[in-house]
Every structure is written in C-alpha cells, then in structure tokens.
A and B are shown apart, each in its own frame.
Chain A
Amino acid sequence: MKAPRLQWMSLLPLMLLLITMGLAGYWAVERTRELQVQEVTNDILHRIKQHDTAMDKDVLRITSLQLTHYDTLVEAVHSLRALQEQLAKLQDGHYAGAGADLAGYVALSERKIRELERLKAASAGLNNTLQYLPTVVAQLLRRERDSALAQRVSVMFSNLLAYNLLPDPASRTRVTKAIGFLRSETSPDNAVLQNIIIHSDANLRARDNVYELLRRFQDIPTADAIAQLQLAHSHHFEKQTERSDRLSFVLFIVTALTLGSLAYTMRRLATARANTESAWRQLHDAVESISEGFALFDAQRRLVLWNQPYKRFHPELSQLVNHGVTLDEINAATLAHHVDPPQGNAEIGGARIIRYTTGHTYLISESRTSDGGIACVHVDITERQQMEEKLREMVQAVEQSPASVIITDLKGCIEYVNPKFEEVSGYHAEEVIGQNPRVLKSGETSTEEYAVLWATIAAGQEWHGEFHNRRKNGELYWEAATISGIRDVEGNIVRYLAVKEDISERKHAEEQLRLAAKVFEKTTEAVIVTDAENRIKAVNPGFTQITGYSVQEVIGRNPGLLASGRHDAHFYRKMRESLAATDSWEGEIWNRRKNGEIYPEWLSIAAIRNDEGEIIEYIGVFSDITRRKEAERKIQWQANYDSLTELPNRSLFLDRLSNALNTGQREGWLCALMFIDLDRFKVVNDTLGHTVGDKLLQQVGHRLLESVRSNDTVARLGGDEFTIILQNVAREDNAAEVAAKIIERLSEPFYVDEHEIHIGASIGITFYPRDGEDATTLIRNADLSMYQAKEAGRNRYHFYTQELNARLQSRMDLERDLRHALAHAEFFLEYQPIVSSSADRVVSAEALVRWNHPVHGRREPGSFVPIAEELGLIGPLGEWVLRTACRECAQWTLGVDPPVGVSVNVSSRQFKLGLTPEVISDILDASGLPPHLLTLEITESLLLEETEEALAWLDAIKATGVRLSIDDFGTGYSSLSYLKRFPVDMLKIDKSFISGVAVNPDDASLVEAIVELAENFKLKAVAEGVESQEQLAFLRQKHCDLIQGFYYSRPLTAEALRVLIANGGLGSGQKRQRQELGGA
C-alpha cells in the first residue's frame, strides 16, 4: 500500500517541475522577442529624434541662408515618414502601447512638414532678393557715382543687410523709413531705383515672413512628442519588464517549493526502503528457519535443539531424534541410506550434499557454535537439484538456439545472452551483461514503439514485433522479436525473455520491392508491362503523363494503340526479331498520344523469361524526347538561320546558291540572284534605336517572303542586306518584275511601335549563267549592281551589265587621276552669289569646286567629291578649297562695304580628317579674312550623329568666329532637336523643295515651315536653286530674303564675282544674265 502512494507523491513534484520548466521556457522566448521589439523601437525612436533635430538644424541654416539647397530636408522628410510607418507597423504587430501618442506625434510631424514647405518657399524668396539686390544696387551706384541718391541707397542697403543679419525692431524701422524716403524721391523713370525699392520691399516682407514661419515651425513641439513617445515606450517596456520580473519571482518560488518537496519525498523514500528491507530480512530469516531442518548439538555432540523439518529429513530420524541422541548415532543410523557413502571422516565445519536412497538430496551444513556445540542445517535440495538438471538441459537448448536469446531482469538489465546473440549482434556476453538492450538501439525504432513494448510485457503479455537494431560494427539489421515475462512459482514476472531472429535479408528483399514499386510510380519515364501475348498488364503514372491514357484505358489492350502510323510493318518486324533474338530492343519511335498528337520517344523493351526459359512478360520503358528533338532542331536551325528575321543566314544562303547553280546547270535553267540593300535604314537605326531597327528588319523579311514564290530563297546576310535566289526564271523580265514588286512593297510605310517609317530598297540583279558561272562571281556582280542602283538614286533595281564592269574600270581610273589632281593643280573654284533680294545686292557667295580633268575636261563635284571622300582625299582637297576660298574672298571684299563673305562646304569626313579649329584659324590668318565672313556649310548627316565629339568640334570651330550653316536642310531624317544643340547660324533650304514651291503645295508648305523654323531659332535661311520669278515671289512673300540660284547668277569665277561686286552689286549686267537664263 505504501509504495504506490510514495510513487504518486514523488510524481507530483516531478510534474510540477516539468510545468515550471515549460513556463520558464515560454517566458524566455517571449522575453527575447519583447527585448528585440524594444530594441528596434528604441532604435527607430532614436533615429526619428535624429532626423527631427537635423531638420530643425537645416531649417535654421536655410533661414540664415547658409544652406543653398533643400535635398537634405527632402531626405529628412522621407526618412521621418518611413520611420513613422515602421513604428506604426511595429505597434500594430507587437504591442499596443503608445498608439495614441504615435498618432498625435505623426499629426504634429505632418504639421511641421507643412510649415517646412512654406518656410522653404519663403526662404527661396528671401534668398532671391538677397542674391539680386547687391547686383542692382551696384548697378545704381556705378551710374549715380557719388550723388546724394547713391549715398542714400547705399545706407538703406547696408541697414537692410544689417536687419537681415540681426533682426531688431529698430533697424527695421530705419530700413522702412529709408525705403519710404527713396520712394518719395524717385522719379518713375528711374527703373533701376524702382527695382531696388521693389526688391527691398520684397526682402523685408520675405524676411518677416520667414521669421514668422520659423517661429511657427519652432513652436511645433515634435521634440516633446518624440520624448513623450520614448517615455511611453520605455514605460510600456518597464511595465512589461516588471511583469516579467514578477513572473520570474513566482517561478522561482514554485521551483524552490517543488525542489523542497522533492527532497522531502526522497528522504521519506529512503527511510521507507530501509525499514522495508529490515522487515523483509526478518521475515526471510523466519521463513528460512522454519522451512529448513535445523539441529543444535552441545559440546558432547548431543542433540539439544531441533525443529520439525529436521526430523523429516530422514525417515529413521523421526524415531531417533530426541534429546540426548548424539550426532554420531544419527549419522550411523542414516549412513546406510547414503547413495554415495562419504570417504573418510566428515569434517565438521563444512557443508556437504548427501543423496539418500529415498531419492532426496540434502545440503547439510554443520558448524561449530561458540560454546563448542554443533549447529546443523539440513536443506532439502532435491527439487532444486532436479530443477538444475532440467535447467542445464534447457540452457543447452538455449545456447545452441538458432535464435538470439536475451534474458533481462525486470529493469531490463541483461543477465544472459546466448552465442547466437553474440554472433548476430557482434557483442560478447561480457560486454552486454548488466547493460540495457538499448545498446543495440539504432534510433530507427520510435519511442512510441518501445513504450507499447514495455506496456505489453509489463502487463504480462507477449510482445511480437520488429527491431531495427545496430550491430557492434555499426551495421543496421532487422530482428523479429518475441518478448515475454518469466514468472516465478507464484506467477510473478521476475525476468524478461527475448527471442529474436535476424530478418535483415527478408527486410532487404521487401525494401527492394518497395523501391522498385516507388520507381515504377515516380519515374518520369513511362513503364509498360505486357504479358507474353503482348496484352498490357501494368503501366505507371509516367505512362499516363506522356501518352494521356489512364491505367484503366489500356489494361488488357495491345500497345499498338499508341502506334502513330509513321512506321511501316518492316520496322515492327525488325523490332520483334530483335526481341526474339536478344530479348531486347531499343530505339526511337514515333507514337501517338491520346489527344492525337504525334511525338518521338526513346523506347527500350526487355523480354522477361521464367525459369523454364519461356517469355512471360515484356517490359517497355520510354521517355518523351520531343524536347531533345526540338533542341537538336534548334541548334541545327541557329546554324543556318538568322535569329532575328528567321530567314536563311549567309551559310545556308551559300548552300542554297550552290544547289541552285547545280540544278540550274543540270536543267538548263536561268537563275537570278538579287542583292537588296535598304535605303535609309541606318538613319532609322540611329534615330529610333536598334529595337525599332530590328523590328523593321523583321517586317522587311516578311514583305520579301511575300514577294517571291515559295521555292525561292530569301536570306539575310547581315545588317540591312538581304538576298534572293530565284531558282528558275523564264526570262530576265520576270526577275525585274519581282524586283519592282519588292521595291514597291518596301516603299510602303512600315509601322513599328508608334513610328511610321519610310524606307526603300536598292536592288542589284545578276543572272546565272549569263553574268557568272560560279557563286563568287555572281555574288560580287550582284553586289556591284546593287551599289550602282544605290548610286543611281536609290529605290531602284539594276542589272549587272558589261557597262557596269566598264564603269568599274573607269572609276578606278578616276581614282588614280584624282590622286594626282591636287598636285597637278587641276582644281579651281567657282562662286555662286547669295543675294539679298530686298537689298538687291550680293551678300555672300558659295564656293564650288571644279575639276579640270586633263582628258575628260571639266567635271562637277558630284562626280568626284564622293570618291574623294571614300579615298580620304577630301582632307587635303577640302583644306585647299578652304584656303583658296578665303584668299579669293579676302580679295573681292577688300574695300567693299558691307563686306561680301564666302560659304565653303565642309564634308562630315573632314571632321575626322584633321580640319581642326587651329587649321581654320591658320587659314584665316594667312588670308587676312575676318572670321565672321567665312561660313562653313555642313550637312545634316554630321548633326545626325549628335555625338559629344561632333558637338565639341562644332563648338570649337564656332569659337574661332566663323559662321555655321546647315546645307540641304530638310532632306535629313531627324528630329529638329539638334538645332538647339548645335551652334548653327544659317539653314540652306534644299533646291529640291525650292523647285517645287510654285507647283507643289507640299513643297511650298515645307519651305514655309523651314523659314518659320529658322525665324524661331533666330537663324538665317537661304533658298538654294532659285530659278524663276515665281519661286522668288513666293520666297519674298514668305520673308525668305537670301536667295541663291540661277535666277540671279550662275556660279562665277572669282574674278567675275569681284567685278560684279566692285560694280555695286547686281548691276544691269547681272540682270541681263538673269534674263538670258530665264529664256534658256
């Protein structure tokens, strides 16, 4: 009765202890969290205070004009708001303390920010007046010098400054008075003084306003609010800390009490055990003394005391035993019945076992007492002997058992293990005796399972189960165990017996099976199992995934239901043959999904045979290789196609061309090769960007494809170069028709994003076999024809011709001649006057270069300047032109008033070919021509580049004092933003527009727009190529005064021009010439 109560009593404190620990743990986590929140909150509040203070400081700095920009204030406001938001979130999420305080503070802070904004505006006004007043006062002082007015202004201004620095009412009164005085004195036409008065007034107002706003700003008690927030916050956390402290005190008391009661219980347990043990010993002794034979002999070996069992130990004794009978008599009487008579005299003081003929065995111990007597104890051990015998046999059986056997005591300590256990576990008996079987634990058997085990066997039932144990060498193994209690005679369980069998092998096999099943279930590859008759027995989820067929739909059916129809009977026969011969087949096969889609798969089939060698199953494993196929195709594709337009690239084009030529040769076909170059594509790319350019190229690709037959090849060689192979054309005309169609299609507007883009194409066409037998020649000729088409004015096609070849030759000659022309002084200049139509006089002239070719005679610049540019000769040629023009201009303008300047065309190439501002200055110096009389005409293309370098170049040239004009204005393709960016002085309206002004309304409105534009940008406009009275009338009506063209004069030699100018501008001779031309 005592034990359970004790147990209960010891459990209670334990439970208490556990609860206490749990509470302490929870409290610790909660406390840590609180501390973190507190830390973050502290930090945020601290930073809010920092920003608030910084803002106050910056405000003082701006009102005292020490801070000239507001970026730090903007940052402070942004930071404050962000921190306030963080704080609000923190309060929502973690503690409700100080919520109202925060809202109050935020409202204050917002008010402060509003005041701040006003302060910023007012300070800017103040700053503005203080920046400006010194300038305007200085202006006045300079003008008025030492007058009385100057002195008064000066005094007023220093008082104003003083008031701005140290505001006190007295100095303000002084300033107001001084301003009033000035106001009364000043005449309304003294604008400077008026200005001073206005701004001084404004300054005073702004200063007062700033002081007032500053006072309001400073009155907003954000600092107090923040301090209160901090206070509320720390109060909140103090309370929390207090609560935590209280909680920890309570926990301490509980713990102390618990430990106290535990100690008390332990002590009581110890005492109780001591009492119990002594009682138990006494009881035990008593039982012993009763159950065993006991006899006491005196010193004379006479019997003095005995008990009943002693009398029963031998039948003879029941009569014999009585007081006084001697030990020897008793021994003599019993000796005859000994099974093994003792050898020699039995020594007193030992113990011996005697077996009697009655079948009983006794353990006899005789010992001397202190008074010389003998105490005999006879224990009947017959049963025990028999038991031991039996046990020995059993032990034998246990020792040789094929199963591991373990015997433990009630606490589970191992008392015995058999050799099989040693073999299985790897532990020696000595190593485990006294240990708990948990030495074998692998950790793979759960605590719950052990709990069930113990509950079962403690209840006296047998437990069957499996252990996943660990051998001494660390290996894991499976055991099936039966554990039961061993009971003593009273039926109490005294020990536990475990009989265990190593089932690792079996487990392993099971595991394998499970794994196989899992693979079957989880693999992304499809698995299909058929029987020998090829009926589907099983498929896995991978199969369903790939084919779309569910398990139910295919079980029992033939895998032929997947057939795509792409393979013929021969293919399947080969497959069957391979399976029959090698039990396997592997290969790529096209099958059909449930949804009808055909896909490639990689299929492996294996035939499975039974022990008799008969095929019982086929296992097929396949994976969907669509993606792999696609990837292969893509790689293939990328090598041969242009990724942007998806047209064949250069490599495939060459391949196709060579095929076309082979076929053409075989079939006797006429093939055409076209080279297409987009006109103005570079401009699109440069102005609208590559993205737009790329999209445009894609659209061009589409239009080209639409323009040819499906068996013709359209390829993109790169950039804006396309090429077309027309396989078999009946006549050359057909190719021309295609080319015309392409030009027409490409000239239609393109729409990319929101841009409407106009381009065109130049096409070169060459024929096989007429123009070349091999690809290289054909390509070169097509390229050449294309360039010719381009030169001929774009948006046209050109056949390759022998003349072209000839032209090539002549061009090479030209190049050679051009290289020598400068050295041989074959160039000369003509000048076309630029006339002010209103003043009817020459204001300037454009220098035009001519080449007097020794063989071909006079050549116009259009026929050699582009070549000179290409050859890089434009550098020296351009410099020669500039030098000559300056020199000749200096001559004709000498003594002429107003002077007549000169315009010289500058190629954009010259920008990179050494035409530096220094060179220009040198040339001007050498000629003595004032810089402003020289105008350099540049083309829009240079401006289009809009690079920093070009801009810097133009700026530097401008800095030499020369004028800049834009030639052929209006033909470019760009926004007009460069007019703002570049330092130009003049626009020259392209003659193509002028020629149409009288007949084409589009041209007229364009010219009008350019003239207006020039006016807006304060630029001069020159109309080029004016030939008729109508054109002139139009231009005059539109206020375009500067005219260049045949109407007034053709280009003249320098000498003729000089004469013209010297004769006082457009004299009668000029007009006559004009009339002649008009009639021509």
Chain B
Amino acid sequence: MLAALLIGTAQSAPVSASSWRDEPIRPIVASSALDASRVALGERLFHDPRLSSDDTISCASCHWLPEGGSDRRPSSIGIKGAVGNINSPTVFNSSLSVAQFWDGRARTLESQVSEPLHNPIEMGATWDQVLEKLRADAALVEQFQRAYPEGMTASTIADAIATFERSLTTPDSPFDRWLAGDDDALTPEAKEGYRLFKAYGCAACHQGANVGGNMFEKLGTMGDYFADRGGVTKMDYGRYNVTGDEADRFVFKVPSLRLVTLTPPYFHDASQEDLGEAITTMARYQLGRTIDDAEVELIIRFLESLVGRHEMLAR
C-alpha cells in the first residue's frame, strides 16, 4: 500500500516545449509510457459488442476509428435501434480534454466508461451482466490476469478501455509540424486560415493541444442560438444538467477541432452537416460577426491541417 503510494506520487516531469512556436494551439505529444498489455486489452474491449446487453453495440460502433472516431450520424444508434439524443464526439484525443461528454459530467476517461454502458439507449447493460459474459471468455480472463494483478473487474475493464483511449492521440499533423518549425508544412492557404482563426477570436476558445476541449463556454455568447433554433430540450441545457447552476445553462464543453474535418455533423445537436456552415454559425453566435465564404474556405484549409496521424485512423 505504502509502496504503491510512494510510486504513485512520483510523476514524470512535463515535456519541455520551449522549442515550439509560441501559439495558442499546442502540439499533440504522442502518448507514451502506456502499459502495452492494457492498451491491447482496451482495444479488444473497445471493439467488443458484449459490452452491450444484446451483444450488438461496441464502443467502436459509435466511435468508428478509421473515419475519425465518431459515427458521422446526428445521433448514434444504440441497442435495438434506439436513437440517442446527442451527437457522439470523436474519441480521438479525448484524453486531452478537461472532462468527458458535452456537459463534462465525467471527470475522467475511466468514469466515462460506465455511462454509455448503462445508458438504456446506448449499450443498455449492467456491469454484472457484462462481467458474466466476459468471464466466460477464458482467453480474455487470462489476458486480464496478465495485465492486472486483480484480474477482470468493472474497474479494470474501465481502466483498460481508458488506457486504450489514452493511446488514441493524433500527433504529427501538418500544423504540428509547422509548430515544430517546418515552414513548409502548411500551405499558404492554411497559414492564412490560421491567421484568420486567431484574428476572428476563434482561438480564444479553440486553443491548447486539442484545439478546444479544455474549457466550457456558453453556446450563444453573442446571440441567442437556442431562440433561433427553437425546440429546446433538456439536452440543450448542457452543463446545467450537471451543476444545477443557472449560470451553466446552455454551457457546453468547447469541442476539439483536431479532427473536425472528419467528424461531421457539427454541434451537440448535430444541426450542421457542412463545416463551412458550422464556422459561419459559430461566427454569428459566439463571435458576433460574419465571415465571408472565401475566408471560411481558408479557415477550413487550416482546420484540415490539424489532422494528425494514428495507425487506426484511415488516411
């Protein structure tokens, strides 16, 4: 116990970042020092439909990695064809976020795992059910015993999946290469797009390594998004559903733009299919201005340069 604590308190020093360009967007540093056996186990579980009550839905069903870690649907399809009520975000780079879910109700990736598992319109399962099914799989049980001293439990399953998710980062994007000093990594259009992205104030919220994901913001700071859209449901209350604080009504986690070009539709309500339209909408409600089409195109060029690499991400 004591030894574990002593080890637990020894943390690695942060990576020196002095050599990067000083920009609001930080590079993604490749995830390292993850236990390979736990990553492998997590990958297996991530694709395992036995985590759902009727063996039809795996994590990967809604977070389909080759296409960007989301399902490109307005809302995901759960067990027995149930349709969800919010757009599923990409799982790539989720470890860089301040919290999980649009409303940030899970503080960690580990605590996130249970939610879709229990959600009746997602996987609709219970841990007891899942454990019973998985324990019948001798090979899997053995793999667990090798990776965890305590073997297969709900918390080691969650840990394995979270560990796998930590491995899902997308470093080495053209933009990151540019941050590292390679002037030729970005096209002139992308560079101009980035300048506009900052000049228009997009980068005030979409910043950091994940180009977002590290803060919460009200949807509609410069205009009433929900009044214009109409049909407000509980899902639209956002963080208010977690904190119960009136100031948090309509506040959402700022989504990461790292893979935004791969993960339509956009916004928690999936109201925009087109990225250019999404940018225009953001400009209207968050920035209080209009951006002309040519500039939207340039910003899209910039956003395209944010897509990094991961072996599971199709190119």
Interface residues of A (CB under 8 A from B): 33, 36-37, 40, 43-44, 47, 68-71, 73-75, 77, 79, 81, 83, 86, 89-90, 93-94, 114, 117-118, 120-121, 123-125, 127-129, 131-132, 135, 195, 198-199, 202, 687-689, 946-947, 955, 975, 977, 980-981, 1016
Q: How far is the CA of A40 from the CA of B107 in the complex (A)?
A: 25
Contact (A131, B198) CB under 8 Å given A68-B207, A69-B208, A71-B214: yes
Q: Could you say which of B20-28, B33-41, B84-92 contacts chain A?
A: B20-28
* 19 contacts across the A-B interface (CB closer than 8 A): A40-B2, A43-B9, A68-B24, A69-B24, A69-B26, A69-B207, A70-B208, A71-B26, A71-B210, A73-B214, A86-B5, A114-B243, A121-B216, A128-B201, A131-B199, A202-B222, A955-B187, A980-B304, A1016-B274
Q: How far is the CA of A33 from the CA of B24 in the complex (A)?
A: 46
CB of B1 closer than 8 Å to a CB of A? yes
Residue from A68, A121, A980 within 8 A of B215 (CB atoms)? A121
Would you call A68 and B23 a contact (CB within 8 A)?
yes
Q: Taking CB as reference atom, which chain A residue is nearest B209?
A: A71
Residue from A44, A131, A688, A981 within 8 A of B200 (CB atoms)? A131
Would you call B187 and A74 a contact (CB within 8 A)?
no
Contact (A198, B288) CB under 8 Å given A124-B217, A131-B200, A131-B201: yes
Q: How far is the CA of A202 from the CA of B289 in the complex (A)?
A: 13
Nearest-neighbour CB distance to chain B for A606, whole angstroms, equals 40
Would you call B218 and A89 a contact (CB within 8 A)?
no
Nearest-neighbour CB distance to chain B for A258, whole angstroms, equals 34
Q: Taking CB as reference atom, which chain B residue is nearest A128?
A: B201
> Which residues does chain B contribute within 8 Å of A36, judged by CB atoms?
2, 6
Q: Taking CB as reference atom, which chain B residue is nearest A89?
A: B5
* A-B residue pair count with CB separations less than 8 angstroms: 113
Main secondary structure of the interface of A (DSSP, over half): helix
Q: Taking CB as reference atom, which chain B residue is nearest A125?
A: B221
Would you call B214 and A74 a contact (CB within 8 A)?
yes
Contact (A689, B314) CB under 8 Å given A70-B208, A70-B214, A131-B198: yes
Q: How far is the CA of A70 from the CA of B207 in the complex (A)?
A: 7
Would you call A980 and B26 a contact (CB within 8 A)?
no
Contact (A132, B289) CB under 8 Å given A118-B247, A202-B222: yes
Contact with A along B189-208 (1 / 0, CB 8 A): 00000000011110111011
> Which residues does chain B contribute within 8 Å of A94, judged by CB atoms?
2
> Which residues does chain A contribute within 8 Å of B222, judged by CB atoms?
198, 202
Q: How far is the CA of A132 from the CA of B23 in the complex (A)?
A: 17
Q: How far is the CA of A731 from the CA of B67 in the complex (A)?
A: 50
Contact with A along B251-283 (1 / 0, CB 8 A): 100000000011000000000001000000000
> Which residues does chain A contribute within 8 Å of B315, judged by CB atoms?
946-947
Q: How far is the CA of A980 from the CA of B300 in the complex (A)?
A: 10
- B interface, how many residues as a size bin? 35 or more
Q: How far is the CA of A40 from the CA of B1 in the complex (A)?
A: 12
Residue from B5, B25, B199, B286 within 8 A of A135 (CB atoms)? B199
Would you call B8 and A74 a contact (CB within 8 A)?
no
Would you call B251 and A40 a contact (CB within 8 A)?
no
CB of B130 closer than 8 Å to a CB of A? no
Would you call A977 and B221 a contact (CB within 8 A)?
no
Would you call B203 and A77 a contact (CB within 8 A)?
no
Nearest-neighbour CB distance to chain B for A75, whole angstroms, equals 8
Would you call B216 and A69 a contact (CB within 8 A)?
no
> Which residues does chain A contribute within 8 Å of B198, judged by CB atoms?
131
Nearest-neighbour CB distance to chain B for A411, whole angstroms, equals 48
Would you call B243 and A40 a contact (CB within 8 A)?
no
> Which residues does chain A contribute within 8 Å of B217, judged by CB atoms?
121, 124-125
Nearest-neighbour CB distance to chain B for A36, whole angstroms, equals 6
Nearest-neighbour CB distance to chain B for A215, whole angstroms, equals 16
Would you call A977 and B262 a contact (CB within 8 A)?
yes
Contact (A124, B215) CB under 8 Å given A132-B201, A199-B288: yes
Nearest-neighbour CB distance to chain B for A854, whole angstroms, equals 47
> Which residues does chain B contribute within 8 Å of A980, judged by CB atoms?
261, 304
Give 9 nearest A-B pairs by CB, closest first: A128-B201, A68-B24, A127-B204, A69-B207, A71-B208, A124-B204, A69-B208, A120-B215, A131-B201
Q: Taking CB as reference atom, which chain B residue is nearest A90?
A: B5
Would you call B208 and A40 a contact (CB within 8 A)?
no
Q: How far is the CA of A981 from the CA of B174 in the complex (A)?
A: 14
CB of B131 closer than 8 Å to a CB of A? no
Contact with A along B43-69 (1 / 0, CB 8 A): 000000000000000000000001100
CB of B287 closer than 8 Å to a CB of A? yes
Q: How far is the CA of A735 from the CA of B43 in the complex (A)?
A: 46
CB of B98 closer than 8 Å to a CB of A? yes
Contact with A along B221-263 (1 / 0, CB 8 A): 1100000000000000000000101010001000000000110
Q: How far is the CA of A125 from the CA of B216 in the complex (A)?
A: 12
> Which residues does chain A contribute within 8 Å of B289, judged by CB atoms?
132, 195
Q: How far is the CA of A955 from the CA of B301 in the complex (A)?
A: 12
Q: Taking CB as reference atom, which chain A residue is nearest B8?
A: A86
Q: How far is the CA of A71 from the CA of B199 in the complex (A)?
A: 21
Residue from A73, A75, A689, A946 within 8 A of B66 (CB atoms)? A689
> Which residues does chain A contribute within 8 Å of B204, judged by CB atoms?
123-125, 127-128, 131
> Which residues does chain B contribute within 8 Å of A198, judged by CB atoms?
222, 288
Nearest-neighbour CB distance to chain B for A417, whole angstroms, equals 54
Q: Taking CB as reference atom, which chain A residue is nearest B243?
A: A114
Q: How far is the CA of A177 from the CA of B187 in the complex (A)?
A: 45
Nearest-neighbour CB distance to chain A for B270, whole angstroms, equals 17
Q: Taking CB as reference atom, which chain A residue is nearest B174?
A: A948
> Which residues does chain A contribute within 8 Å of B107, judged by CB atoms?
81
Q: How far is the CA of A947 from the CA of B309 in the complex (A)?
A: 13
Q: How far is the CA of A799 from the CA of B113 in the complex (A)?
A: 58
Contacts A71-B26, A689-B314 supplied; 8 other A-B pairs, CB < 8 Å: A68-B207, A74-B96, A117-B215, A120-B216, A121-B251, A128-B204, A131-B203, A981-B304
> Which residues does chain B contribute within 8 Å of A68, judged by CB atoms?
23-24, 203, 207
Nearest-neighbour CB distance to chain A for B23, whole angstroms, equals 7
> Which residues does chain A contribute within 8 Å of B5, judged by CB atoms?
40, 86, 89-90
Q: Taking CB as reference atom, which chain A residue is nearest B207?
A: A69
Nearest-neighbour CB distance to chain B for A1060, whole angstroms, equals 36
> Which residues does chain A contribute within 8 Å of B1, judged by CB atoms?
93
Q: Taking CB as reference atom, which chain B residue is nearest A70?
A: B214
Most buried by A among B1, B204, B243, B289: B204
Q: How far is the CA of A423 from the CA of B89 in the complex (A)?
A: 89
Q: How far is the CA of A1069 from the CA of B210 in the complex (A)?
A: 63
> Which residues does chain B contribute within 8 Å of A75, judged by CB atoms?
14
Nearest-neighbour CB distance to chain B for A300, whole angstroms, equals 98
Would you call A40 and B9 a contact (CB within 8 A)?
yes
Nearest-neighbour CB distance to chain A for B280, whole angstroms, equals 14
Most buried by A among B24, B97, B214, B274: B214
> Which residues does chain A contribute within 8 Å of B98, judged by CB atoms?
70, 74, 77, 117
Q: How far is the CA of A947 from the CA of B315 in the complex (A)?
A: 8
Contact (A129, B2) CB under 8 Å given A44-B9, A71-B26, A689-B314: no
Q: Taking CB as reference atom, which chain B residue is nearest A123?
A: B204
Q: How far is the CA of A121 from the CA of B204 in the complex (A)?
A: 9
Q: Taking CB as reference atom, which chain A residue is nearest B68?
A: A977
Residue from A37, A117, A689, A1016 within 8 A of B2 (CB atoms)? A37
